[in-house]
Amino acid sequence: MRKYLLFDKVVPRWMIMVLDVLIITWSFSTSYFIVNRFEFFNILRGFFFIYTGLYVAIAALVMFAMRIHSGLIRYSNTRDMLRIFGAAFISTFVYAVVAYLWIVPILKTDAFMLNLVLLVNFSVSSALLILLRAAAKSTYHYIINYSVGQKSTVLIYGSDDNAILVKQALENSIKSNFSVIGFVDNNSNKINKEISGLMIHNINKLSLLQKKHKVEKLIVVNDHLDKIEKKMALEECLALGIQVLTVPPSDQWIYGKLNLSQIKDLKIEDLLQRKPIKIDSTSISKDIYGKRVLITGAAGSIGSEIVKQVLRYNPALVILCDQAESPLHEMQLEVEEEFPDIAIKIFIGDVRSHRRMYRLFSNFYPEVVYHAAAYKHVPMMEENPSVAIRTNVLGTKHIADLSMEFGTKKFVMVSTDKAVNPSNIMGASKRIAEIYIQSLKNSDVNTSGTCFITTRFGNVLGSNGSVIPRFQAQIQKGGPITVTHPEITRYFMTIPEAVQLVLEAGTMGIGGEIFTFDMGEPVKITDLATKMIKLAGLQPDKDIKIIYTGLRPGEKLYEELLNLGEHTLPTHNEKINISKVITYPYQEVANKIDELLALNQADDSDIAIVNKMKEIVPEFISKNSTFEILDKKKTVKGPTLAPSL
């Protein structure tokens, strides 16, 4: 039987119908015997077989019409029980009508006796039909529970309809290895009450429940994870060694039912997520609605999210520009499916190619540009300065210059906190790009009046090549997790959060600003690794070790959001500030950048290129890099470029 059920076999519907008919036959017969005090001689001499046969025929037809036999017994629920009561009632009513119209007048039978038989039979038959299903369902779950072997002891967070549906889904699945022992909640009106046969416990009693029941997992419906109480509970779970799993909201369940494949480990992004950001959608809509919008780096982590969020504001046209063919193709398929009514153009091109970018602008005349194309990996750029310059500086210059030439109204550049007091090539190249973009505000070359805006923020959770996907891969392989330094910290923000702020900052700018974002508190990377190990249901240093490999070339222990001498001004959005940075005259900036690009074009030595970068960005002090030698040879007395405050 167990093997039969495990292969998802079901009893044929005709067998269920036969069982139901046997039950109602036995029930009516027994009810008749009870009412007639088991006087078998008189019963059998009377019209017992006519009464019984007629009732069974009527009841069988009613049950067949109502498809009482068609449901899978193992999944019977309250609705099925009500249908059985309904079928028993209708059968009794129809039989009573037939009896009073035919049986009583023709056979001269005792109507009172027949009424008693019907009353007793209604109670007995409906009870037995329900009992059959309850017994079959209980037997099924008993067999399944013992067939899976050792099960994980599970609590479900919440006590609403979704929580009950999760419990039912876990209990009804053959492949489930979860044993649900109860619910936890912080609603005082529900605590110590029962739902679906299980107790609702106080969330503050997690520690006691873990000791008493050896709780291994907590399942959370992935709604409102930003609530403070829930996040505190999740943190406590990690401290207690309870693995946290999530299921999507019920509107995302497959065909309205939870599939076990939808139960996932809690992501570190969920745990670090802050309160939802409130943005001014009206202002963003005014900037984007009905406009032609260009997004460079559209297939990257930030660029692809900018694409998705921009499309929600109904632009006239969105141009997706990237040099990565396959990711751009995947992006195209995704957005065309989700936004079929918005015009989308795919443009494969490299921002380093002026000719290719000129063709893009001359074909589409974008009105708004979000420039997210960049090289971002610190160690790789430290070994390839010329590539960083060509993409992050020359590529930005191409897009900015073409924006002015073709009358683009707004240019928004995505920068990084690594541009602040840079310690590496990547950060310095982005700082040079920032300086150039700022210098265009009041320059003579900006005859079209293009508004240039820079946004600056830290690491984004889950972006391509970031620390979180790397840690996840290392955990899946059994470790170890590699961290460069035990004290290293970083600011983190989710990709959607960052892009929301990029879009809103774009609406605030009048030109030349650098907008910085509230990144929250910095996160210690060692703590991040520890939490990720615990989220996977493992123990740090026991199941997965953390080893320290030393700082990589160009890497800082701590990131900053402001340069020395910079301060910020608030905006109407508490998450966005304007950095009052030092600006430089356009012509001086342009001359210095032309010199840098000429060195780069000549393929001169990396030393000469980096030395020129340090001349343009005097606060650029290399860390853990072969270029530190250049810092020892100079004494920084002040900015090389003349500032204009």
Residue 512 one-letter amino acid? G
CA dihedral in degrees (607, 609, 615, 617; nearest 10)?
-110
What is the DSSP track for 155-213? EEE--SHHHHHHHHHHHH-TT--EEEEEEEE--TTTTT-EETTEEEEEGGGHHHHHHHH
Active-site choice (217, 267, 418, 430): 418
Q: Where are the alpha helices (DSSP H) in 442-563?
A: 467-476, 495-508, 525-535
| Catalytic residue check, 633 | no
Q: Where are the alpha helices (DSSP H) in 273-324?
A: 281-288, 301-311
Q: Which helix (H) or strand (E) holds 455?
A: strand 451-457
Question: First-to-last CA distance in the chain?
Answer: 84
Joined tokens for residue 184: 């936890």
Whole-number Å distance between alpha carbons of 413 and 492: 19
- Spatial CA neighbour of 557 closest among 531, 528, 525: 525
- Spatial CA neighbour of 412 closest among 433, 391, 381, 394: 433
Return the exposure string of 6-18: e unless at least 16 CB atoms fall within 10 Å of the residue's CB, then b: eeeeeeeeeebbe
Query: Token match 């990084």: residue?
Result: 416
Joined tokens for residue 373: 């194309």
Residue 528 one-letter amino acid? L
Whole-number Å distance between alpha carbons of 462 and 484: 18
| Largest CA-CA distance found in the chain, in angstroms, rounded | 123
Whole-number Å distance between alpha carbons of 173 and 187: 29
Residues known to be catalytic: 418
